[in-house]
Amino acid sequence: MSDLSQPGLRRRLAFPIDKIPLLLFAALLVFFCFQAPWFLSWQNVSVILKQTAPLAILCFGLACVIIGGGDDVVSGGIDLSLPAISVLAVAIISIGVQIEANIFLLALLAVTAALLAGLVNALMVVRVGLPPLLATLASSVAIVGLTNYLTRQRRISIDAPWLVAFRDGTLLGLPWAVWFMLAVFVLYQFVVHHSRWGQHLQASGGSREAAELAGLPVNSLMLRSYLLAAAAAALAALTLLARGSGSSPGAEEPLLLEMVLATFIGTAFSRRRVVTVWGALLGALLVNALSNGLALMRVDIFWVGTVKGVLILLVLAAAAVQRRGQP
């Protein structure tokens, strides 16, 4: 009888197993093409792209942290506070617009708040040595509490002309939010995958011991990755603000689930099965296409959450099998 603990057999099994989440996504999308009305219409595709913008930008930030700290969800790099940071930035801008504060001052204040939150996360992980999963989860809870205090847990609607123009305007048939998402993607793709600093970050996440032996400043790289992720959360706030036409309590909850799912499903697009900025973009598109297709079919919102939860379990299980299969 074959022993499943043998490395060779695990490697042979890992290849099909790590494809299961992506194949399931593909099957669902094909199903929507036949069953959901207007799923492939340009109007609906444009909606999917527009709705993807805040999630994709958050995924770019999460990808930076994972790439720098490793893809182990417990001991590796992770930042669960990014949606909460983005929602805090949205709340700051929404409150400021209501009292007619200067928009440039509001943007500076929102970015500063996001970077401070990222710095706190970095210090807790890098300096204090807390597990990233627990540190950023605690940070997320604290940031949500601060946001609720500022907004009094009420919705704040704004209709400033610049926001309406960004929300409803198009260029070459694509919403402004999509162009903004693509611009942020190009920036993060270059910084993480095509710059010298990004190469050092990847080396640090690939093997901390080897990176330290090579003389790389691993702690500094990790700290900057958290700041880069927080900057992504601040950038995502603009698209999130436009999508909701203001601040809404609890907006971070669905984003957290979708961010983790999209970022890790993106590993299926990497030859080495690792998290990448490019994969995060494709993962975000898949997750939003899934949500859109289920909505078109009028599937109960509770079942939508169940489907996404199951997909996250499959993605993480496939990643675990992949790591076990490595010699």
Is the predicted pLDDT of residue 14 greater than 60, yes or no? Answer: no
pTM of the predicted structure, to 2 decimals? 0.86
Write out pLDDT tens, residues 39-86: 778 888 888 888 899 999 999 999 999 998 876 666 678 999 999 999
Domain boundaries, the chain: 16-324
What's the chain's length in residues? Answer: 327
Produce one character per residue of 124-140: b if its CB has 16 or more CB atoms within 10 Å, e if not: bbbeeebebbebbbebb
Residue with tokens 């959901």: 36
pLDDT of residue 1: 42
pLDDT (average), residues 125-154: 91
pLDDT of residue 2: 44
Cα–Cα distance for residue pair 251/266, rounded to 1 Å: 23
Cα–Cα distance for residue pair 142/152, rounded to 1 Å: 15
pLDDT (average), residues 149-170: 88
Looking at the domain 16-324, which fold is it?
ABC transporter involved in vitamin B12 uptake, BtuC (1.10.3470)
| Beta carbons of 240 and 136 less than 8 angstroms apart | no
Write out pLDDT tens, residues 231-283: 999 999 999 999 888 888 888 888 888 898 888 887 777 777 788 899 899 88
Is the predicted pLDDT of residue 323 greater than 50, yes or no? Answer: yes
